[in-house]
Amino acid sequence: MSPEEKLVCGLEEMGLDLDPATQSRLLSYVELIQKWNQVYNLTAVRDPQKMVTQHLLDSLAVLPHIDGCRIIDVGTGPGLPGIPLALANPSLEVTLLDSNHKKTSFLRQACLELGLKNTTVVCERVEAWRPEEKYDVVISRAFSDLAEFVGLALHLCSNTGLMLAMKGVYPYEELTRLPATVVLQGVEPLKVPSLDAERHLVLLRPIKMEAMG
């Protein structure tokens, strides 16, 4: 099965209706990762078919849980899940945040070549980034630990916003160490077509500071 067929079948299975132009841009994004991977080592995944599953479909699986317009993808690396989300939903405003200069160079070039008007690339450490306006959604698929994610990125989330952490297996241990600054909204299992591994999405709400006072 070609990457194109894999994407079409995967989107159908997930119930996502993306037009042919968007599908084409998603595949162009995979080609860009492949091209830059040779020099910048953006991802350990080398096979285009696996990239469709582990990068595109894996990222798009969170789309139904995106509530709001302004999103920041912290520790985005090669743009995951931020770029697939921005391509799939042009009404989103997506900030791609990473402290690695090589990766942000790739991100700027990718956004340019893909004609992405709804993305902003920021090269900065997550704890140091102080945007003028906070975000509706703070998402990451790269943080290894939930407590660390909250500790470093909570300041980016609006009082009514949501923090989303993409995980593999159900993170029982990590959930016991969640700080008191957030409340657990739920842990949703994600179904990623053709992926023979567990995926979960942890949904966290910030506790308003006035409520804590």
Per-residue pLDDT of the chain (213 residues; tens, 9 = 90+): 899 999 999 999 999 999 999 999 999 999 999 888 877 777 778 887 888 999 999 999 999 999 999 999 999 999 999 999 999 999 999 999 999 999 999 999 999 999 999 999 999 999 999 999 999 999 999 787 999 999 999 999 999 999 999 999 999 999 999 999 999 999 999 999 999 999 999 999 999 754 443
The class that CATH gives domain 3-212 is alpha beta
Structure confidence at residue 56 (pLDDT): 95
Cα–Cα distance for residue pair 166/188, rounded to 1 Å = 10
Rounded CA-CA distance 85/116 in Å is: 11
Round to whole Å and give the CA distance between 142 and 172: 18
Please report, in range form, the residues annotated as the binding site.
75, 80, 126-127, 141
Q: What are phi and psi of 175, to 5 degrees?
A: -65, -30
The C-alpha atoms of residue 87 and residue 22 are separated, in whole angstroms, by 6
Query: Residues 180-210, buried b or exposed e (16+ Cβ, 10 A)?
Result: eebeeeebeebebbebeeebbbbbbebeeee
Can you give the pTM of this predicted structure? 0.95
Residues making up the annotated binding site for S-adenosyl-L-methionine are 75, 80, 126-127, 141
